[in-house]
Structure 1
Amino acid sequence: MGRLALFLLTACLSVTTMAADVIKGERKETFGDVTVHYNTFNSTFLTPDIAKAAELNRSKNQGVINVSVLKEGKPQTAQVSGTVKDLTSQSIPLKFKQITETGAVYYIAQFPVDQQEIRTFDIKVQTGDKTNTISFQQELFPGQ
């Protein structure tokens, strides 16, 4: 699983870098001493062995959202839930699973990407008795 954490971190950085011209900044939200990093990418960015280890479906029509929570710069466990909406406001619940490795905690979920379109993500992150919400839009493309 160490390779999975390394890959997801690399994917976060490379997808953020590739989208920097569009996004103009890092994908994170800060709530007091808690920082939530997040990104989305097509599951074809995952190698077959990484997808299998994470129990993810690797397909050109499947996206992945990756969320990590840090408290004072250290990995923090949380309850992560959310939805993704298409342009018709059809909402799909995201089923996050926690991946814990030495020095890292990630929450990942998959969602369908049937065509190029802008999707709206609403993510709730609960740490202790605080719940914070992140909403963002992302243009998605089916993979190759």
Structure 2
Amino acid sequence: MTPLARIALGIALLAPAAPALADASSGTEKFGDFLVHYNALSTRSLNADMARQYSIERSDKRGLINISIQKVAADGTAAAVKAEIRGEATNLTGQKSPITIREIPDLYVSYIGLFDVSPPDTYTFALSITPAGADRAYEVRFSQNFVAD
């Protein structure tokens, strides 16, 4: 697993499960046999080497969302799966920022998305996630505060 995926997923996995409209920076939601892990943060908080490795601009005006999807087997084990993901971030005044989502190539399937932010503000994320093998898309919504440094 890449360092970015390891850190971001670690943050998501340590957080308690969050309801769809919770004000949280990270969470996990269950949809049938699928677990969706997510978190959002300012790219300013990324390590400089990590940001350079993944061509991510470190800035208070850029946000990053990390998403991973797992399918839970009957025995309780979970395996990462690929997914089609679309999303946008909306601030408190209703301005929308599309999220450009890309897969992070590694042994572990993880996705990152970049979007513009104008702190201080709260952003609501609306994600449509279709895991491989699923017969429909799942909707994830959560909010995150972005503060000015």
TM-score bracket, normalised by the shorter chain, equals 0.7 to 0.9
Residue 80 of structure 1 corresponds to: 85
Question: Could you list the runs of 5+ residues in structure 1 that have no partner in the other structure?
Answer: none
**What CA distance in whole angstroms lies between the structure 1 residues aligned with 2:89 and 2:23?**
19
1:44 to 1:120, Cα distance in 2 relative to 1, 3 A? same
Of residues 109, 114, 124 in structure 1, which corresponds to 2:128? Answer: 124
**What CA distance in whole angstroms lies between the structure 1 residues aligned with 2:51 and 2:12?**
15
Residue 57 of structure 1 corresponds to: 57
Instruction: Answer whether contact 2:43 2:57 (CA < 8 A) is retained.
Output: yes
Residue 19 of structure 2 corresponds to: none
How many residues are paired up? 137
Give the alignment's TM-score, normalised by structure 2: 0.80
Partner amino acid for 1:136?
F
Residue 29 of structure 1 corresponds to: 29
1:33 to 1:70, Cα distance in 2 relative to 1, 3 A? same
What are the Cα deviations for residues 79-101 of structure 1, in whole angstroms up to 9, with x where unaligned?
Answer: 01101111121111111000131
Give the alignment's TM-score, normalised by structure 1: 0.82
Question: Could you list the runs of 5+ residues in structure 2 that have no partner in the other structure?
Answer: 17-21, 73-77
For the aligned residue pairs, the C-alpha RMSD in angstroms reads 2.4
Partner amino acid for 1:59?
S
SS at the partner of 1:101? coil
Residue 75 of structure 2 corresponds to: none
Percent identity of the aligned residues?
A: 30
